[in-house]
Structure 1
Amino acid sequence: MAVVVPAHNEERRIAACLRSLRVAAAQVAPLPVVIVVVADACTDATAVLAARGGAHVVETRGRNVGLARAAGVERALELLADDGRHAWLAMTDADTTVPAAWLTHQVARAAEGHDAVLGTIRLAPTITADALLRARHDAAYFRTRRSHGAGAGAGAGGAWEHPHVHGANLGVSAAAYLRVGGFAPLTTGEDRDLAARLTATGHRVARTDRHPVRTAARLRGRAPGGLADLLASLCPTPAPPGIPTGPDGAEVDCVPTPGVPGGGKSVREVPVRNL
C-alpha cells in the first residue's frame, strides 16, 4: 500500500499531515505502507521536514499538481517493486490530516471489490475558517445529503452518494490507475479527470462520507480553481492589508462584512463541480 502526498511550500503543515498518516498506517499493520511526498517547486523546508517525518521524498520543479501526483505514484510503484501492480494507492494533500481509520476504510472498500474510493473533506478550523465561511461552504457541500436521509450537517454520514472528488481524499487500485493512464499533467482538476476516466471505463467507484479528512481552509491555494478559490468566492470581503501570511499567502483572514448578515456571494452561485 502507498500514500502519495504532493506538496508545494508546505513546511508549516507537512509534519501534521505525516503524523496523521503514520497513525492511519499503524491501523492496517502488518500491511506495509509506503509514504511518498512530492516536493514540487518548493523553496522552503518541505522536503527536509518530509524526510525527517519518515517519508520518501521526490523533488519536482513543474509546479503542476497532476505531474506531481503522477511522479509520486511512479516512485511508490518502484518502491513496492513486484507488488506494485497489486497495490492500493491512497492520495491526500500536504495541508490535510487524515483520521486514524482512513486507510482501514479504503482497504475495506477494496476488499469489497471497489477499484477506487472517493471520500469527503471537512474544513479544518484555522484563522481563515471563521464560522460564517464554514457554514457557507457546508451549505453548498452537503446540499445533496438530505435526499439520502442523513441530514445536511457535517457529522458522520450514512450512505450519502456524494458528488465530490478530492485529491485530498482519494484511493485507487494500482491496476485500475495504470489501466486508465494515471494522472494527467493538469494544473488543476487532475483528481476529477482521473475519477471521470475510471467511471467511464466501468471501474467500480465507492463514494463515501465515512472517512472525511480535515483540510486547511485558506483563501490562497496552490492550484487554480481549487478549494481556496471557492472559499475566497464565499468570503464576504477581501482580507484587509497587513494580515500576516505564510508562503504564497497561505493564511489570509476572511472578515465578515460589518452589519451585513450573510453578506457576500451566495453558495447557490457556486456550482457543485467546483466543490
Structure 2
Amino acid sequence: MIGAVVPAHNEEALIGRALAALRRAARHPDLRGEEVRIVVVLDACGDRTAEIARATGVQCLAIEARNVGIARAAGAQALIEQGARWLAFTDADSVVAPGWFSRQLALRSEAVCGVVEVGDWTGFTAAERAAYEVGYTDAEGHRHIHGANLGVSASAYRRAGGFPQLRTREDVALVERLHALGVRIAWTNTVRVVTSARQDGRAPEGFATHLQRLRRA
C-alpha cells in the first residue's frame, strides 16, 4: 500500500483541489491497482478544511500542534501502522501530477525529491517571476527539497527517525538525515507538483517566505 500525507491548517480555499489531484493520481494505471491511502492531518483548523476533506472520503487525523513537522510525522506514523510501504508528502495548496505516485515508484530509489512549479503568478511582476526562475533548477540532478513533493520508502523513513518536530525545514532535516545514512535519493524533475504563489504561508521560512524575499529584492 502507498500512503500520502497532507498537513493542513485552515486550507478550506485550496484543499479540495489538492485532494482531487491526489485521488486522480491514485488511479493511475501504472500503479496496477495498488491501494493508495490519503491522510489529511488537520492541524488546529478553525475553518471548513475538515468538512471539505472528509467529504472526499480520505482519512483525517486531527491534532493541535501548529507544527508542520509534527503533522507530517503523525500522518506518516498512521500510514506505517496501516502497512504502507511507500510514503509520499505534499501540501494542501499544491496539485500533484497525474503520474505522481507511479513515477516515484518507477525511479526505484529509496527516496525521491521532486520539483515544484508556480501555477499562477498573479500579483507578481515579470521581473520577479524571472528572478525566481533564474534561481530555480528545474532539471534532473537538482538539489531542491520540498515538503510539497517528497517521497520515501517506509523502511528508509523509519531508519532516519522520521520527521523532526520542527515548525519549518522539517523536510530538509529529514532528507539530510537520509543522505547521511547513505539512502539512495532520486533528485528529479520528472516528479512534479504545481503549487501556489501565496505569500501568507503556513510555515515560517517556507516557500511563501522565499517569494516574499523575491518581492523585497
| 2:134 alignment partner in structure 1 | 139
| 1:12 alignment partner in structure 2 | 13
- CA distance, structure 1, for counterparts of residue 187 and residue 134 of structure 2: 19
Three-state SS of the structure 2 residue aligned to 1:120 is strand
Q: State whether residues 119 and 209 of structure 1, in contact with CA within 8 Å, keep that contact through their aligned partners in structure 2.
A: yes
Three-state SS of the structure 2 residue aligned to 1:211 is strand
* 1:48 Cα offset (Å): 1.1
Q: Which amino acid aligns with 1:167?
A: G
1:200 aligns with 2:180: yes
Structure 1 stretch displaced more, 122-131 or 30-39: 122-131
- CA distance, structure 2, for counterparts of residue 163 and residue 6 of structure 1: 23
Three-state SS of the structure 1 residue aligned to 2:135 is helix
Deviations 1:107-157 (A, max 9, x none): 112xx3x11000010011153455433222111112xxxxxxxxxxx6xx4
From 59, 65, 69, the equivalent of 1:66 is 69
1:233 aligns with 2:213: yes
TM-score normalised by the chain length of structure 1: 0.75
Q: State whether residues 69 and 168 of structure 2, in contact with CA within 8 Å, keep that contact through their aligned partners in structure 1.
A: yes
* 1:102 Cα offset (Å): 0.8
| 1:221 alignment partner in structure 2 | 201
Q: State whether residues 2 and 90 of structure 1, in contact with CA within 8 Å, keep that contact through their aligned partners in structure 2.
A: yes
The 4+ residue runs of structure 1 with deviation greater than 6 A are none
Q: State whether residues 128 and 219 of structure 1, in contact with CA within 8 Å, keep that contact through their aligned partners in structure 2.
A: no
Q: Which amino acid aligns with 2:40?
A: V
Three-state SS of the structure 2 residue aligned to 1:22 is helix
1:46 aligns with 2:44: no
Three-state SS of the structure 2 residue aligned to 1:172 is strand
Three-state SS of the structure 1 residue aligned to 2:69 is helix
| 2:93 alignment partner in structure 1 | 95
Three-state SS of the structure 2 residue aligned to 1:162 is coil
* 1:68 Cα offset (Å): 0.2
Q: Which amino acid aligns with 2:91?
A: D
TM-score normalised by the chain length of structure 2: 0.94
The Cα RMSD (Å) is 1.3
| 1:190 alignment partner in structure 2 | 170
Q: Which runs of 5+ in 1 are unaligned?
A: 143-153, 237-264, 266-275
Three-state SS of the structure 2 residue aligned to 1:141 is coil
Three-state SS of the structure 2 residue aligned to 1:222 is coil
Deviations 1:19-77 (A, max 9, x none): 10011000024100000000111110111111111210011111000000001111112
Structure 1 stretch displaced more, 127-136 or 205-214: 127-136
The sequence identity of aligned pairs, in percent, is: 45
Q: Structure 1 residues 176 and 58 mapped into 2: Cα distance closer, same or farther (>3 Å)?
A: same
Q: Structure 1 residues 193 and 173 mapped into 2: Cα distance closer, same or farther (>3 Å)?
A: same
- CA distance, structure 1, for counterparts of residue 142 and residue 53 of structure 2: 32
Q: Tell me how many residue pairs correspond in the alignment.
A: 214
